[in-house]
Amino acid sequence: MTAVADRLRPLTGHRLFWPALVLVVMLAANTVYRPGFLAVEVKNGHLYGTPIDILRLSAPLILVALGMTLVIATGGIDLSVGSLCAISGAIACLHISGAADQNSPATVATALALAFGAALVLGAWNGILVAVIGIQPIIATLILMVAGRGIAQLVTEGQIITINSGPYRAIGLGHFLTLPLAILIALAAALLVAAFTRRTALGLIVESVGGNAEASRLAGIRSRRIVFLVYVISAVCAALAGFMVTANVSSADGNAAGLWIELDAILAVVIGGTSLAGGRFSLGGTVLGALIIQTLTTTVYAMNISPQTSLLFKAVVVIAVCLVQAPAFRARLRRRRGTEPGPAAPQREKEQVPA
């Protein structure tokens, strides 16, 4: 038994092992409950099925969580991403709704450009508050979290803006190469962020700033610029997620769009193995964390769990997932089961008795 445990230790010690195992267990449990859960079929040249729906619905969360991962890696937090989703979606839908031809690609491109511009400005605002002025990240982003909902309500004038634009709807519901376009956008964003953080020095610099900002500064790294940059990236990712959220329903609701997505994003980052204290981060773990959260949401709906108890059910599952990933918790379980021997007691040397 000990030999098997020793062989599996390199595998179980990998940071992505436990999130991947949790996701597989959840999919297996759903398959037992509903035998057709993993069934995928082709209709009109497009893939349909519960796994495809999970991937499509998790795309906005993956985008937000990618930006959140970089922010948390620097030792910060961004609570404003939900409001940024609402603002970007509201600006895009407002411009499209006032156009003479809502299906014009130029109209949609202009709407996206305006919304991206607003997101860049608001992301820069967060970056200035945190990196330049020195306000605590949770307070700085809490300001925009609260005020951002008001800005979104001002943009929509307190109403739900509805649109009828095929090109904009395609962002959330369109297909390309049989797959939903939202999945491909999230995949492209993940690969782009991974390329910049793992194929260049940016990832190492972000981790060093999160590990010790002062030491990084003394080593010649301009930590303030890095902190400013990650908040801008987080805002851009949130804006793209806002387009998906509003495109799914062809409308913009300044009060409901992206509501509480910031909490799910933080949770996805933590489940993926990134420490809230900053430092090392895992983009692959973040993607797995987002898929776990969406799979859990789908499970709640599939099992007809009442809305009154669904949040409690999700909380219990998330706590269990975090405990399973905690090395200290697993080590304590192994000690209790006796599979991991404790440290041997030091042996006292025999005293020599003089003749």
In 128-260, which ranges are continuous DSSP H helix?
Answer: 137-156, 166-173, 181-198, 202-211, 213-218, 223-249
The mean pLDDT of the chain is 87
User: At 350, is the pLDDT very low, low, confident or very high (cuts 50, 70, 90)?
Assistant: very low
Distance CA 210, CA 226 (A): 10
Whether 322 has a pLDDT exceeding 80, the answer reads no
Q: Model confidence over 259-303: pLDDT tens digits?
A: 889 989 998 998 888 888 888 899 999 999 999 999 988 888 877
Whether 119 has a pLDDT exceeding 90, the answer reads yes
Phi and psi, residue 40, nearest 5°: -130, 135
**pLDDT-above-70 percentage for the chain:** 90
Q: Highest mean pLDDT range out of 215-224, 309-318, 334-343?
A: 215-224
pLDDT on residue 8? 62
pLDDT on residue 13? 64
Q: Model confidence over 13-45: pLDDT tens digits?
A: 677 887 888 899 989 988 988 888 889 999 888
Report, in angstroms and rounded to the nearest whole number, the Rg of the chain calculated over CA atoms: 24
Question: What are the beta bridge partners of residue 175?
Answer: 180
CA 292 from chain center: how many Å? Answer: 11
Q: Model confidence over 144-183: pLDDT tens digits?
A: 999 999 999 999 998 999 999 999 999 999 999 899 999 9
**Hey, what amino acid is at 311?**
L
Distance CA 44, CA 316 (A): 40
pLDDT on residue 247? 95
Phi and psi, residue 135, nearest 5°: -75, 145
Please state the rounded mean pLDDT for residues 239-245: 96
pLDDT on residue 353? 46
Return the minimum-mean-pLDDT range out of 32-46, 127-141, 183-197, 312-326: 312-326
pTM of the model: 0.87
pLDDT on residue 338? 65
Query: Are residues 65 and 268 in contact, defined by beta-carbon separation less than 8 angstroms?
Result: yes
